[in-house]
């Protein structure tokens, strides 16, 4: 479910006209719906209610402080992957005691900072990392809560760049090595073995890989939990969302199909996993990113030119791959809709492209789209996850502004970057002066 709908043929985010926002704040513009964020959080929370559980929002998907505050207010914890992300949690008013720190390359400084802030767990991804965490904890006279991230070697069947749970990937510790590592870690005095974690990949659209991975890991979790008095088992993130609606006849599109058939919903996920997990008697952590925020955000862009070559209809817009890199990077699909519908059913196969000097700077190719012209606005849907956070200043393009909508209210939650700020931290070497 999400809260982007047409009213009188104008796209609205909750009670606010998106065109009004584009006119007031300019484009490219990210727009987030608070009701969608809370709705997604609550759906998952409710589905997992039979379990003692904690939702740690994977903030890498969207770390805008206001978005994080919305979720922190719901009681969310955070899955993070750097000291910088922990600083963001604190800036957003989140609780470090509900934070899980993942990542293969934690530095000593990051470990020290997270220990001082009292995070819930370090999810260690190698034995040298456990040794390092123990060393930093000893220096600070603290005991560090740790879990091992197990790599269960299960193919999540998703895009190669976002699969994480096979032995081809850098993530986690090989299944066969996990017990030995816990045995050695149990001898390190400044570690507390608090649990075990796994994460097999992102944008999973079927519950099967989760079931396979949980079933494979479960006997080991039981054994280790008894031996080391575990408190939790984390099954990671990865819940997929609808990017491309499979249209049944008579249906209108993305805005009507939030509960499309066969999709991995919180309920199907919970129905399969709760019977496996409940008997463990442990706290279950989940780390959803995209599920919470993906369909809660759109990227609004303005058409600059329409260029017709004999072969192609290029719709050149003011957003580019530096604003939303997913199509260029993963060939991912984002639905593209006009902010104003005119009722015409005629479409033209179009390439929507940005102004960046790369052939990869496109949002879609040969997609049937309504006819548009200079000054029209388009929205790229499902852009709330891994959108703004992956933006760059390539081609000296300033980063987009971000807006949060709540009912009839809208607030700028990130100002549009000023071009001169792009080189604010650069210096010209003295010998060049």
- For residue 122, state whether it binds ligand LLP (rule: CB under 6 A): no
Phi-psi region of 244 (alpha: psi -120 to 50; beta: other; left: phi over 0): beta
CB of 59 to ligand LLP, least distance (A): 9
One residue of 289, 327, 354, 370 binding ligand LLP per CB under 6 A: 289
Q: Using the rule CB under 6 A, give the single segment among 2-10, 281-289, 307-315, 374-382 that binds ligand LLP.
A: 281-289
Q: Which residues touch 349 (CB under 8 Å, ≥6 apart)?
A: 313, 366, 367, 368, 369
CB of 205 to ligand LLP, least distance (A): 11
Q: Which two tokens stand for residue 189?
A: 């005095």
Within residues 49-68, the interface with ligand LLP by CB under 6 A covers: 58, 60-61
99 is annotated as an active-site residue: no
CA-to-CA dists, residue 259 to 1, 37, 271, 287, 424, angstroms: 7, 16, 16, 21, 46
Phi, psi of 31 (to 5 degrees): -125, 125
One residue of 85, 110, 231, 287 binding ligand LLP per CB under 6 A: 287
- For residue 114, state whether it binds ligand LLP (rule: CB under 6 A): no
Q: Using the rule CB under 6 A, give the single segment among 20-28, 64-72, 198-206, 220-228 that binds ligand LLP.
A: 198-206
- For residue 239, state whether it binds ligand LLP (rule: CB under 6 A): yes
- For residue 238, state whether it binds ligand LLP (rule: CB under 6 A): yes
Q: Which is nearer to ligand LLP, 61 or 315 (CB)?
A: 61
- For residue 334, state whether it binds ligand LLP (rule: CB under 6 A): no
Q: Which is nearer to ligand LLP, 80 or 410 (CB)?
A: 80
Angle between helices 208-228 and 266-277 (to 10 degrees): 30
Q: Would you say 137 and 144 are in contact if contact means Cβ atoms under 8 Å apart?
A: yes
Annotated catalytic residue, options 13, 56, 99, 357: 357
- Contacts of range 171-176, beta carbons closer than 8 Å, 24 or more positions apart: 171/104, 171/125, 171/199, 172/125, 172/148, 172/198, 172/199, 173/124, 173/125, 173/126, 173/127, 173/148, 173/149, 175/150, 175/151, 175/216, 175/217, 175/220
> What DSSP designation does 204 have?
B
Q: What ranges in 81-177 are assigned the alpha helix state H?
A: 83-92, 108-117, 127-139
- For residue 338, state whether it binds ligand LLP (rule: CB under 6 A): no
CB of 369 to ligand LLP, least distance (A): 23
CA-to-CA dists, residue 15 to 11, 356, 407, angstroms: 10, 34, 5
Q: Which is nearer to ligand LLP, 162 or 412 (CB)?
A: 162
Q: Using the rule CB under 6 A, give the single segment among 83-91, 195-203, 208-216, 416-424 that binds ligand LLP.
A: 195-203
- For residue 77, state whether it binds ligand LLP (rule: CB under 6 A): no
Q: Which is nearer to ligand LLP, 16 or 239 (CB)?
A: 239
- Establish whether the linkage from the previous residue to 78 is cis, with ω within 30° of 0: no
CA-nearest of 242, 369, 234 to 301 is 369
Q: Which is nearer to ligand LLP, 61 or 144 (CB)?
A: 61
CB of 429 to ligand LLP, least distance (A): 35
- For residue 237, state whether it binds ligand LLP (rule: CB under 6 A): yes
Task: Report DSSP letters for 18-78, one per residue.
Answer: HHHHHHHH-SSEEEEEHHHHHHHHHHHHHHTTTS-EEEEEEGGG---HHHHHHHHHHT-EE
Q: Would you say 295 and 384 are in contact if contact means Cβ atoms under 8 Å apart?
A: yes
Q: What ranges in 144-228 are assigned the alpha helix state H?
A: 178-185, 208-228
# residues near ligand LLP by CB under 6 A: 23
- For residue 288, state whether it binds ligand LLP (rule: CB under 6 A): yes
Within residues 293-322, the interface with ligand LLP by CB under 6 A covers: none
Q: Using the rule CB under 6 A, give the single segment among 29-37, 110-118, 184-192, 197-205 that binds ligand LLP.
A: 197-205
One residue of 12, 40, 194, 199 binding ligand LLP per CB under 6 A: 199
CB of 391 to ligand LLP, least distance (A): 12
Q: Would you say 13 and 404 are in contact if contact means Cβ atoms under 8 Å apart?
A: no
The catalytic site residues sit at: 357
| Binding region for ligand LLP (CB under 6 A) | 58, 60-61, 79, 102, 162, 164, 199, 202-203, 236-239, 287-291, 326, 330, 385-386
């Amino acid at each position: 479910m999400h809260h982007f709908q047409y009213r009188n043929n104008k796209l609205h985010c909750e009670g606010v006209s998106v065109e009004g926002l584009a006119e007031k704040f300019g484009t490219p513009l990210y727009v987030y719906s608070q009701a969608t964020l809370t709705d997604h959080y609550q759906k998952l929370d409710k589905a997992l209610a039979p379990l003692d559980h904690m939702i740690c929002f994977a903030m890498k998907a969207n770390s805008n402080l206001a978005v994080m505050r919305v979720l922190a207010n719901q009681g969310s914890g955070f899955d993070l992957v750097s000291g910088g992300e922990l600083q963001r949690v604190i800036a957003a008013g989140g609780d470090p005691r509900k934070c899980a720190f993942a990542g293969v390359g934690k530095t000593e400084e990051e470990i020290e900072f997270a220990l001082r802030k009292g995070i819930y767990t370090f999810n260690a991804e190698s034995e040298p990392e456990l040794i390092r965490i123990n060393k930093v904890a000893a220096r600070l006279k603290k005991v560090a809560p740790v879990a091992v991230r197990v790599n269960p070697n299960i193919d999540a069947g998703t895009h190669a760049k976002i699969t994480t749970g096979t032995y081809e990937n850098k993530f986690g510790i090989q299944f066969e090595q996990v017990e030995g590592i816990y045995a050695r870690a149990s001898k390190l005095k400044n570690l507390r073995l608090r649990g075990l974690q796994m994460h097999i990949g992102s944008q999973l659209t079927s519950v099967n890989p989760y079931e396979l991975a949980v079933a494979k890991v479960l006997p080991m979790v039981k054994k280790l939990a008894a031996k080391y008095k575990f408190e939790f088992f984390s099954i990671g993130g990865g819940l997929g969302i609808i990017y491309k609606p499979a249209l049944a006849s008579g249906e209108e599109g993305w805005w009507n199909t939030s509960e499309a058939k066969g999709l991995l919903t919180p309920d199907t996920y919970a129905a399969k996993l709760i019977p496996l997990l409940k008997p463990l008697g442990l706290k279950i952590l989940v780390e959803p990113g995209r599920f919470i925020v993906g369909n809660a955000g759109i990227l609004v862009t303005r058409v600059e030119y329409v260029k017709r070559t004999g072969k192609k209809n290029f719709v050149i817009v003011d957003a580019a791959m530096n604003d939303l890199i997913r199509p260029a990077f993963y060939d991912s699909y984002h639905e593209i809709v006009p902010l104003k519908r005119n009722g015409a059913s005629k479409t033209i196969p179009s390439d929507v492209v940005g102004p960046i000097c790369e052939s990869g700077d496109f949002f879609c190719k040969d997609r049937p789209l309504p006819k548009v012209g200079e000054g029209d606005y388009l929205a790229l849907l499902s852009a709330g996850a891994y959108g703004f956070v992956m933006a760059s200043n390539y081609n000296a393009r300033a980063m987009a502004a971000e807006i949060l909508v709540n009912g009839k209210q809208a607030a700028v939650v990130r100002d549009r970057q000023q071009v001169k700020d792009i080189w604010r931290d650069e210096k010209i070497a003295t010998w060049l002066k």
